[in-house]
Amino acid sequence: MVNRAFRSTGYFIEYLALLLSILSVWTVMARQGHLNTIILPAPNSILETIIDLVADGALFTNMFISVSRVLQGYFLAALLGISLGILIGLSKHLDRITELIIQMIKPIPPIAWIPLVILWFGIGESGKVFLIFLGGFFTILINVVDGIHQTDPKLVEVSRSMETPFWKHIALMVIPGAAPNIFTGLRTGLSSCWMCVVAAELVSSTTGLGYLIMDARQFGQTDIVIVGMLTIGIVGKLMDSLLRFVEKKTLRWI
């Protein structure tokens, strides 16, 4: 027992070691005046900026706006990605019909869509949600299709031999069989949605974390830029951890 506690403390130290070393080198260099604070402010001034931004509400307001945009686009991407993915995964015809166009659209990075999205939607909310949707949709779709293609044909045969009704077959055989891949799609989809929201806000927005960064850059507020970036990173990590947790709880059989 003692041994195990000891070991897990060790793991935790390893987990944080690199981050803490970087922070300490950074602090020492700032203290000794080696850093130009316009280019890289000291860790303590970044901490002060965090406190200020939290106090005046700018950080959480913008974070909340970005997160809620992501959730809208992501929800659409997951809904359509999973349902279309199941249809394409089950039907060889649909697979062949859609394959070319999916393979062609998929490599276009969401950022390259931004000009077109602005022309179509203007700079309102719907354009951003659409962009986020694009960012997640293809990743999710492709993973779901793969997952269904990889289901064990022997298990499908069992379900068939029992004359399982269509919807029951989908719910108890097809979806759980593809679930590990569906979750992979959902996780990579979410992180790509999160990257898209920042990209969209950088270009055309007056709110959100992307805007916070871009706005601070114009006034040379390097500390705010860094705080904004850190927040983007931390929120992304938290969302991924949350999904991993849900995945672990859901895929108990693995």
Partner 1 sequence: MGKNAETALLKQEPYLVIDHVNKYFVQKKQRLNVLDDINFSMAKGEILCIVGASGCGKSTLLRAISGLDSNHGGQIIIDGKEVVAPSKTRGIVFQEHRLFPWLTVEQNVGYALTVIDKEEKKQLVQTYIELVGLKGFEKAYPKELSGGMSQRAGIARALVNKPEVLLLDEPFGALDAFTKIALQKELKRIQRKAGTTMVMVTHDIEEAVFLADHIIVLDSKPGRIKLELHVDLPVPRNRNSYEFLQVKKRIYEEFFQDEKLPEDYSI
Chain residues that interact with partner 1, rule: CB under 8 A: 154-155, 157-164, 172-173, 176-177, 179, 251-254
Question: Which residue is listed with tokens 């130290």?
Answer: 13
Shortest Å distance, C-beta 58 to partner 1 = 46
* Cα–Cα–Cα angle for 182, 85, 170, rounded to 5 degrees: 80
Nearer to partner 1, 178 or 224 (CB): 178
Shortest Å distance, C-beta 96 to partner 1 = 24
Torsion of CA 164, 165, 170, 171, to 10 degrees: -90
Shortest Å distance, C-beta 15 to partner 1 = 29
Nearer to partner 1, 48 or 152 (CB): 152
**Cα 209 versus chain centre, distance:** 15
Shortest Å distance, C-beta 253 to partner 1 = 5
Nearer to partner 1, 15 or 253 (CB): 253
Nearer to partner 1, 176 or 236 (CB): 176
For residues 197 and 66, the answer to whether their CB atoms sit within 8 Å is: yes
Nearer to partner 1, 71 or 179 (CB): 179
Nearer to partner 1, 6 or 253 (CB): 253
Shortest Å distance, C-beta 79 to partner 1 = 22
Question: Which residue is listed with tokens 């995964």?
Answer: 89
Query: Please, what's the largest Cα pairwise distance for the chain?
Result: 76
Render 32-96 in DSSP notation, one character per residue: TT-S-TTTS--HHHHHHHHHHHHHTSHHHHHHHHHHHHHHHHHHHHHHHHHHHHHHHHH-HHHHH
Shortest Å distance, C-beta 154 to partner 1 = 6
Distance CA(188)–CA(200), nearest Å, equals 18
